[in-house]
């Protein structure tokens, strides 16, 4: 099973040294989207703001970037007024 790594790139850079074994890239993308939603919520709670360009970089076992998931890719801001 391939190993994927999920690096956070926002005000800081947090490199994932452990990674996760996942069946395929689609599974890695689904995990990255979940992580981005959690991180976005934490950013709002801690900083009171959300930077839509912050992102999670997905790397394969060779260290190559295979995908990037921006906060703005998975967060929808809706005004219901």
| Per-residue pLDDT tens digits for 13-40 | 999 999 999 999 999 999 999 999 999 9
- Answer whether residue 35 is part of any domain: yes
- Answer whether residue 81 is part of any domain: no
Locate the DSSP E strands across 1-81: 3-9, 13-14, 20-21, 55-59, 65-70
* 74: Cα separation from own chain's centroid: 9
Residue 13: domain span: 3-74
Q: How many domains does the chain have?
A: 1
**The pTM is what?**
0.89
Whole-number pLDDT of residue 58: 98
- Answer whether residue 80 is part of any domain: no
- Answer whether residue 50 is part of any domain: yes
pLDDT at 10 over 90: no
Using one digit for the tens of pLDDT, what is the confidence trace for 55-73?
Answer: 999 999 999 999 999 999 9
Query: Mapping DSSP to helix (H, G, I), strand (E, B) and coil, where does residue 25 land?
Result: helix
Whole-number pLDDT of residue 15: 97
- Answer whether residue 43 is part of any domain: yes
């Amino acid at each position: 099973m391939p190993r994927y790594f999920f690096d956070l790139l926002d005000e800081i850079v947090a490199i994932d040294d452990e990674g996760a074994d996942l069946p395929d890239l689609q599974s890695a993308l689904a995990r990255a989207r979940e992580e981005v939603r959690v991180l976005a919520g934490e950013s709002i709670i801690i900083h009171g703001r959300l930077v839509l360009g912050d992102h999670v970089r997905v790397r394969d076992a060779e260290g190559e970037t295979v995908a990037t998931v921006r906060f703005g890719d998975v967060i929808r801001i809706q005004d219901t007024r």
